[in-house]
Amino acid sequence: MKIAVDSKELFELTETQKNVIKNCINSDEFDADMKRRLEWVLKHKYEQCFKRLKDEWDGKLSGLGVESIPTNPDEYAEMIFALPEYKDRKARDLESKL
């Protein structure tokens, strides 16, 4: 089983590794289970990062005079990213080095 993102292979499970997992997971369910697990990891990371983004910016928004905020997570994030005060992790890391 090869795992790829944007057509770039990240890693591959060997047949032996797959068989070790199949010792615990029905082989008929293996592919679906592996996809579900990968999806969960990425969604969980998104949810945790969104929570931190919201925790950080909810307080800042009122100080910036924002009177209403979207309830849709993507719209909320896009609003934050459009603010001139917003800096992503790379920008904050570069700023802290200066």
Q: What is the pLDDT of residues 1-19, one digit of tens each?
A: 888 889 999 999 999 999 9
pLDDT for 5 equals: 87
Least confident range from 30-34, 63-67, 83-87: namely: 63-67
Summarised one tens digit per residue, pLDDT across range 38-71 is 999 999 999 999 999 999 999 899 899 998 999 9
> How many structural domains is the chain composed of?
1
Give the domain range for residue 29.
Answer: 2-97
DSSP string, 69-80: --SSHHHHHHHH
Res. 98: pLDDT tops 90: no
Q: What is the pTM of this model?
A: 0.83
